[in-house]
Amino acid sequence: MRILELFKNLAAIPHGSGNTKAISDYCAAFARERGFEVLQDQWNNCLIRLPATQGKEANPIVVLQGHLDMVCEKDAGVSHDFEKDPLDLQIEGDRLFAKGTTLGGDDGVAIAYGLALIEDPSIPHPPMEILFTSDEETGMDGAIGLESTWLKGRILLNLDSEEEGVFITSCAGGGEICARLPLFYEPCTKPVYRISIEGLQGGHSGAEIHRRLGNANIILAKVLAGLSCRLISINGGNKSNAIPRAAEALCTMDSPVDSTALTELLLREYGDREPDLKVIVETATADRQLDEACSKAAIGLLSSLPDGVFEWSTEIEGLVETSSNLGILTTADQQLSLLISTRSMKNAKRDAYQEQLIALLERFGFAAEAGGSYPAWEYKSESTLRPIVAEIYRQHYQKEPAFIALHAGLECGLLSEKMPGLDAVSFGPDIKEIHTPRETLSLASFQRTFEFLKAILAKL
């Protein structure tokens, strides 16, 4: 399977968010070696222009788009260095995965598809602009910085979805809130303990927020709020768009608490969706603790912070309209830092929710600001692309496709702003548990979706 070989080549190049120059240069060189026009910019966006195959020269330009970066998550104890090490790809039956880490199927499949089209001149297609954007996972910086004059096409096939046969036609917009609390210390006066939350599933803070998965940062804060303790430090999560799987705090207490009892108490609330949740309490050492005011402010804010689904859509049953995720929590340099990802299907509600969160943060003494906002991709009622996609899907699969709205963010909203009149659909093969080390790609679906993509291009 050629697309699998191309994917393996990409997996050998470290390409986490913020580290996309090497993979952008690889794609650019791949296209230039085959004689195609290539543009790159300071964001590491890469645009490759493919002339139409014979007989399709007069057809409208089609933009094929995916992002270069991947979310870098690994299991505890795994020594993988995402800055230097290639992914350790494994195959079991139909499942492709990376040992101990995320796979990068989101969105390596799109890059592999694009390179396969560049490589094979026998695949019929209209004039094409293959766009690989950078840093989608951490704020869509590449799409934000993209020069709007680069793209001439107004038909977009976005390949950043993870369920075969399900086509995205609109999605949430989002942004981030960064907040900091100055910390003041005094000497420890009681025994020191480390309290850890472990065993959570984690997941995508948009696509899986409706599952009510446990957020380790929030759960740990609730545990601390129920104890007579003085906080020293608290840390959890490492990606704003990933639901944290683990978190830990150092604190002082008169005596240790029963970790088994705490675990059982939390399982009563979370056990139906987080059966492996556990609390670990260990003795530790430290020479200073937060003063009483700082400790109360930190625990008070974290234990009362809204997280997860904030509001459900009144227009589409079962669709999350507005949500947030406390993705990163760190104690360093005499400050407590928070990074919260917010999403909404409506830009006005996103902004209002961010204002509400900032007001709450400021009441507890945090300095907070919103940034990294990207717009929602609103549904286009008139589309020439959707009927074509639906017709070809019926021919290939002998069943009806599903067209849906998605609470996760896609770059289609930003590209729609830059390309007035854009007609877009997002789709992709089956990828399970993205943004976690359990991520797997179905190889059969990977190949079927590529054949489906080729059929669409032959029709356009």
> Which residues are catalytically annotated?
69, 136
Residue that is written with structure tokens 């995508």 in the block? 204
Of the candidates 30, 32, 39, the one whose C-alpha atom is nearest the C-alpha of residue 9 is: 30
E-only strand ranges, 183-257: 185-187, 192-198, 203-204, 230-236, 242-243, 247-252
Return the ∠ at Cα 64 (arms to 59 and 70), rounded to 5°. 180
Parallel/antiparallel/unpaired status of strands 166-182 and 402-409:
parallel
Two tokens, residue 69: 């970066």
What is d(CA 101, CA 82) in angstroms, rounded to the nearest whole number?
9
Helix (H) or strand (E) holding 369: strand 367-374
CA–CA dist 442, 448 (Å, integer):
10
Cβ-based neighbours of 64, under 8 Å, separated by 6 or more:
110, 113, 114, 117, 128, 129, 130, 131, 157, 159
